[in-house]
Amino acid sequence: MSDINMEEIVSWAKRRGFVFPSSEIYGGFASVYDFGPLGVELINNLKKLWWKNVVWERGDVEGLDGAIFTHPKIWEASGHVESFTDPLVDCKSCKKRLRADRLLEDKIGVEKVAGRSLAELGQMIQDEEIACPHCGMLDWTEVRDFNLLVECSIGVTEEDKRNFYLRGETCQTIFVNFENVLQSTRQKLPFGIAQIGKAFRNEITTKNFIWRVREFEQMEMQYFCHSSLADKKYDYWKKESWQWLVDVLGIDRDNLRWRQHERDELAHYARDAWDVEYNAPWGWAEFWGQHNRQDWDLKRHGMYSGKEILYYDQKTDEKYIPFVVETSLGVTRLALVVILDAYTIEEVENEKGKKEERVVLKFDKKVAPIKVAILPLMKKDNLLDVSSEIYDNLKKKFVCQHDVTQSIGKRYRRQDEIGTPYCVTVDFDSLEDGQVTIRERDGMEQKRIKIDDLEGYLRDNLG
Ligand code: GAP
């Protein structure tokens, strides 16, 4: 378990403009968060890197952006209306509602809880004498199923109003568009469809900052293939996912592990499921699900829409319902993984030779929200003229900040705290020799470089 203090992360994220509690001026809105100026840069970088890897650099995956408002039948067909539930238990004393499995997991661990029936969970809570974390009483209702779909209504008049669900996972719009994508592109099986978008879940307990929230984004890819290929493709996408995390995002592999779902833990659609887990401050936690969904979804949408969804293979003259291998990654969770993995506290010497603490976000350069900070040594007109000119030129090529106030030491620390890979300092010598100091974030090495060579240097080093 990592020893990072989550309260520190929440406070840093707000102070530095990464994540804000949503609707804060009205007292916040239960477990919903907004991404601030640097948070949005960070998640846009993550989404772009994923899209590049899964769509742009391949020929066999198409993109899609499905609507959030969907026909309610989709969620009946997908099995979510019936089976997308969590075990709920109420404290009779203080009336708080909690997830029965999470209550137990916190005391006896995930392994002993996975796959238990509602009655078993209720009994285990009694046997373990688990008291309510809010009021300390041991007075529970029986454990029952609670559906996570978020219900809404639309319509202009009262009679016209109709209920529907906000999507609980993005991939259902992929399944219902399978034939549209197939017909409008020149793809043949095997091929995939990728999507990035919002999903909504009425989570009973939200927890650990942006880890478990009610509104979040997913990056999902469904790979359609013949049933005989499904296991091979499943292994392939598992390997791809792991490599992307380690090689592209630079996540420390020691903080990652695979966990296979137990048979009785599998989602209603899955034949096999493996999660990538992160070594978070509260223990190993799942953030990327890989599922072999078989032909569950296409078969069910065929049944519920009354129109079978079949693929015709010209080569083999065979008609079949494709199998689906899915990779499903939460953007919101990935953002926290990347932050936790990068968050480092080091002891360093300041300009006066005194030891002090430095908080530095060691983001991979591709992920860092700001790539370069341009800093005049002092707020003097002649220095500002040069630094402004450099900023005006570089900001067209890289995401830059022009930071002019406070001591240079404090500005370096501020840039370290937001993970900026390079600081460029304009000093009085720059006015004479046309050179600036470039400082690298992690090692804090500094070197002089000609202003004319800056752009090329950054291009070579930022990748
Ligand atoms: N289409 C399959 C699917 O949705 P899932 O395991 O329920 O599978 C996939 O969710 C990913 O979505 C998770 O690995 C996680 O990253 C993210 N996710 C799920 N529920 C979430 C929540 N309440 N808050 C933030 N992210 C969530």
Q: Which tens digit of pLDDT belongs to each residue from 85-110?
A: 889 999 999 999 899 998 898 888 87
> Is the shortest distance between the CB of 200 and ligand 1 below 6 Å?
no
Whether the per-residue pLDDT at 161 is higher than 90: the answer is no
DSSP sequence for 315-379: TTTEEEPPEEEEEEEEHHHHHHHHHHHHEEEEEEE-TTS-EEEEEEE---TTT-S--EEEEESSS
Whether the per-residue pLDDT at 1 is higher than 70: the answer is no
Nearest alpha carbon to residue 219 among 199, 237, 187, 197: 197
> Is the shortest distance between the CB of 223 and ligand 1 below 6 Å?
no
Residue range(s) of every CATH 3.30.40.230 domain in the chain: 85-143
Which pTM was predicted?
0.93
Q: Tell me, what's the pLDDT at 108? A: 87
For ligand 1, mutation pick of 47, 216, 260, 275 (most atoms within 8 Å of CB): 216
Neighbours of 369 (CB within 10 A): 24
Residue 56: which residues within 8 A CB-CB, separation 6 or more? none
> Is the shortest distance between the CB of 295 and ligand 1 below 6 Å?
no
The Cα 233–Cα 224 span in angstroms is 9
Q: Are 230 and 190 in contact (CB under 8 A)?
A: no
Beta bridge partners of 320: 311
Instruction: Give Cα separations from 409 to 348, 396, 424, 462 (angstroms).
Output: 12, 27, 13, 23
Instruction: Give Cα separations from 158 to 125, 152, 274 (angstroms).
Output: 44, 14, 45
Neighbours of 45 (CB within 10 A): 22
Q: Tell me, what's the pLDDT at 187? A: 95
Nearest alpha carbon to residue 75 among 141, 11, 166: 166
Residue 225: which residues within 8 A CB-CB, separation 6 or more? 189, 190, 233, 322, 323, 324, 325
Model confidence band, residue 139 (pLDDT cutoffs 50, 70, 90) = very high
> Is the shortest distance between the CB of 294 and ligand 1 below 6 Å?
no
Amino acid in the structure at residue 412:
Y
The Cα 54–Cα 325 span in angstroms is 14
Amino acid in the structure at residue 14:
K
The Cα 290–Cα 325 span in angstroms is 8
Which atom of ligand 1 is the closest one to the Cα of 330? Answer: 16
> Is the shortest distance between the CB of 203 and ligand 1 below 6 Å?
yes
Q: How far, in Å, is the centroid of ligand 1 from the Cα of 401?
A: 34
Question: Nearest residue CA, atom 9 of ligand 1?
Answer: 328
Which atom of ligand 1 is the closest one to the Cα of 273? Answer: 6
Question: Nearest residue CA, atom 19 of ligand 1?
Answer: 330
Q: How far, in Å, is the centroid of ligand 1 from the Cα of 334?
A: 11
Q: What is the pLDDT of residues 382-435, one digit of tens each?
A: 999 999 999 999 999 999 999 999 999 999 999 999 999 999 999 999 999 999
Residue 20: which residues within 8 A CB-CB, separation 6 or more? 14, 33, 34, 35, 36
Residue range(s) of every CATH 3.40.50.800 domain in the chain: 370-462
> Is the shortest distance between the CB of 286 and ligand 1 below 6 Å?
yes
Q: What is the pLDDT of residues 119-134, one digit of tens each?
A: 999 999 999 999 999 9
Side by side, which strands form the sheet with 323-330?
61-64, 191-200, 215-225, 323-330, 283-294, 272-280, 256-260
Domain 6-79+148-338, what architecture? 2-Layer Sandwich (3.30)
> Is the shortest distance between the CB of 288 and ligand 1 below 6 Å?
yes
**CATH 3.30.40.230 correct for 85-143:** yes
Which atom of ligand 1 is the closest one to the Cα of 275? Answer: 14
For ligand 1, mutation pick of 260, 271, 333 (most atoms within 8 Å of CB): 333
Q: What angle do CA 369, 371, 376 make, to 5 degrees?
A: 120
Q: How far, in Å, is the centroid of ligand 1 from the Cα of 290?
A: 11
Q: What is the pLDDT of residues 196-208, one digit of tens each?
A: 999 999 998 777 9
Average pLDDT over residues 447-459: 97
Burial class (CB in 10 A: 0-12, 13-18, 19+), 242: middle
Q: What is the pLDDT of residues 263-322, one digit of tens each?
A: 888 888 888 999 999 999 999 999 999 999 999 999 999 999 999 999 999 999 999 999
Q: What is the pLDDT of residues 327-368, one digit of tens each?
A: 999 999 999 999 999 999 999 887 788 899 999 999 999 999
Question: Nearest residue CA, atom 5 of ligand 1?
Answer: 289
Q: How far, in Å, is the centroid of ligand 1 from the Cα of 38?
A: 23
* Residue 95 tokens, joined: 């009336």
> Is the shortest distance between the CB of 332 and ligand 1 below 6 Å?
yes
SS3 content of the chain, % helix, strand, coil (to 5): 35, 30, 35
Considering only residues 162 and 441, tell me which one the structure prediction assigns the higher pLDDT. 441
DSSP sequence for 86-129: EEEEEBTTT--EEEHHHHHHHHH-HHHHTT--HHHHHHHHHHTT
- The overall longest dimension of the chain from CA atoms, in Å, is 79
Q: How far, in Å, is the centroid of ligand 1 from the Cα of 263?
A: 19
Q: Are 61 and 55 in contact (CB under 8 A)?
A: yes
Q: What is the tally of helices (H) and strands (E) in the chain?
A: 16, 23
Q: How far, in Å, is the centroid of ligand 1 from the Cα of 95?
A: 27
Q: Are 361 and 15 in contact (CB under 8 A)?
A: no
Q: Are 161 and 177 in contact (CB under 8 A)?
A: no
Looking at domain 370-462, its CATH superfamily turns out to be Anticodon-binding domain (3.40.50.800)
DSSP 68: S
Average pLDDT over residues 182-192: 95
Whether the per-residue pLDDT at 80 is higher than 80: the answer is yes
Instruction: Give Cα separations from 123 to 99, 339, 347 (angstroms).
Output: 14, 39, 50
Question: Nearest residue CA, atom 1 of ligand 1?
Answer: 169
The Cα 423–Cα 391 span in angstroms is 12
Considering only residues 162 and 52, tell me which one the structure prediction assigns the higher pLDDT. 52
Mean predicted lDDT score pLDDT of the chain = 94
Q: How far, in Å, is the centroid of ligand 1 from the Cα of 330?
A: 6
For ligand 1, mutation pick of 165, 169, 245 (most atoms within 8 Å of CB): 169
> Is the shortest distance between the CB of 287 and ligand 1 below 6 Å?
yes
Which atom of ligand 1 is the closest one to the Cα of 331? Answer: 16
The Cα 236–Cα 383 span in angstroms is 54
Q: Tell me, what's the pLDDT at 270? A: 87
Residue range(s) of every CATH 3.30.930.10 domain in the chain: 6-79+148-338
* Residue 346 tokens, joined: 């080091």
